[in-house]
Structure 1
Amino acid sequence: MQDTLPLLAFLFPLAYSPGPGNMFFAANGARFGLRATLPASLGYHIGTWVVTAGLGFGALSALTQTPRLFLALKLAGTVYVLWLARRLFNAGGTDGTAAQAKAPRVTDGAMLLILNPKAYVIIALMFSQFLSGAGTPEVLRITTIFTLNNLIAFTVWTLLGDRLALHFRDEVHARALNRGFGVILAIVALWMLFT
């Protein structure tokens, strides 16, 4: 319990620095607003809690003992984030095509977490540093702190995207904003692949 503040200090830069989740939520916040992005956030954070708890209870050792599985996860995650980046880059602005666009769903958020190798690396580092015992309460406490910290960070990024979009309401500027977020998300995908 006394390690809660050091745990939060460890997680803060990881949760608030640009990564696949942050860029996904900032871009969708800009495109659809906070409210429409909530289902994807729910999917992402339920996925975060389940995956983190599973890794804390021992699935992590299976991942580390099978490097091919981790490599496959890394490749799948990169492809998925590149697909999201392409979809965002090609998104329209405020014209009819944008009106037909669909806000991200619960499954979009869950898939983003499941295919995010950065999340697995952070979870592994977190448990190696802060899990003093293998007890269930300790794993659940760390899992819950991690999930809530991410929820706050991604909500901040979503709100920033939503506020940024207020300055990009016309067609040309909205399309430029979508393309900018698409390029940033593609760069993050490549970063995921090579780290």
Structure 2
Amino acid sequence: MTQTVLPLLIFLFPLAYSPGPGNLFFAANGARFGLRATLPANAGYHVATWVVTVGIGLGFSAMLDTVPALFRWIGVFGALYVLWLALGILRAGITPDKVAARSAGWWDGAILLLLNPKAYVIIGLMFSQFLASDADHRFGLVLLIASVFTLNNLLAFLLWTIAGDRLARGFRNPAQARWLTLAIGGVLALVGVWMLRNGLVG
């Protein structure tokens, strides 16, 4: 078990903790609404992460190989969804009243994972490295890898959310807080545009 978990964590560290659509989305929501309000979306994202990871580990990736256009469409719809989320964050920054702004919910988190092509690439690459073709007890190994991947990702998202929350606390002035939210929402929008360009051109 240690022979799999430790190399897997080393492999995942730069992928999980670097800026990406998920990390920036939760950092923005943490800055706007605080850590506690992001927990339902975080739960939705990571329940979906575990289910999708197990599915890919047990053969879902074969469907992506058979229908390569499916991956491209996932990327396009994922980019559009990230842009839609960024628009909501930007609107929250413009709106001074927190009642008018809504924090992300369970389904927002789940959909964000399902439409995140970066997640599929990482999961596929991870299994190509850590799931040997002749491995005994493959089902148990898939469950172990999926669980380690999900928990590590959850920790990364919580750290990014806390960072957003702490950053926002330094902007106690409402006007400053709105500018911070607009800045983070703008960065997330740029990520969405980059994802859309890759999905359409790549």
CA distance in 1, matches of 2:172, 2:100: 16
TM-score by length of 2: 0.91
Match in the other structure for 2:159: 156
Q: CA deviation at 1:171?
A: 2.4
User: Where does structure 1 lack aligned partners over 5 or more consecutive residues?
Assistant: none
Preserved CA contact (<8 Å) 1:43 1:109? yes
Q: Distance in 1 between matches of 2:95 and 2:115?
A: 30
- Does 152-161 or 128-137 show the bigger shift? 128-137
User: What is the percentage of aligned positions where both structures have the same residue?
Assistant: 58
Give secondary structure in 1 for the equivalent of 2:92: coil
Paired residues, number: 194
C-alpha distance in structure 2 between counterparts of 1:48 and 1:136, whole Å: 17
Aligned counterpart, 2:145: 142
1:43-102 residue CA offsets vs partner (Å, 9 max, x unmatched): 000000000000000001111221111111000000000111112122236832x33212
1:190 Cα deviation after fit: 2.7
Q: Write the distance in 2 (CA, Å) between the matches of 1:142 and 1:102.
A: 34
Task: Work out whether residues 82 and 112 of structure 2, in 8 Å CA contact, stay in contact via their aligned partners in 1.
Answer: yes
Letter in 2 for 1:28: N
Q: Where in structure 1 do 4 or more consecutive aligned residues deviate above 6 Å? A: none
Indicate the RMSD between aligned Cα atoms, in angstroms.
1.4
After superposition, the C-alpha distances for 1:172-191 in whole angstroms (9 at most, x for unaligned) are: 21111111111111122233
Q: How is 1:126-141 mapped onto 2 (pairs within 5 angstroms)?
A: 126-132=126-132, 133=135, 135-141=138-144
Which residue identity does 1:75 align to in structure 2?
A: V
SS at 1:102's partner residue?
coil
Structure 1 length as normaliser, TM-score? 0.95
Q: Per the alignment, in what secondary structure is the counterpart of residue 146 of structure 1? A: helix
* Letter of the structure 2 residue corresponding to residue 19 of structure 1: G
Greater alpha carbon shift after TM alignment, 30-39 vs 125-134: 125-134
**Which whole-Å CA distance do the structure 1 matches of 2:58 and 2:71 have between them?**
18
Contact 1:118 1:192 in 2 (8 A): no
Q: 1:9-28 residue pairs with structure 2 within 5 A?
A: 9-28=10-29
Task: Map 1:103-182 onto structure 2 (within 5 A).
Answer: 103-132=103-132, 133=135, 135-182=138-185
Secondary structure of the corresponding residue to residue 168 of structure 1 = coil
* Aligned counterparts of 1:54 and 1:119: Cα–Cα separation in 2: 13
Give the aligned partner of residue 72 of structure 2. 71
- Is the Cα contact below 8 Å between 2:21 and 2:188 reproduced in 1? yes
| Worse-matched range after superposition: 117-126 or 1-10 | 1-10
Give the counterpart letter for 1:175 in structure 2. Answer: R
1:92 & 1:86 partners in 2: Cα distance? 10
**2:104 counterpart SS class:** coil
Alignment of 1:177-192 (within 5 A): 177-192=180-195
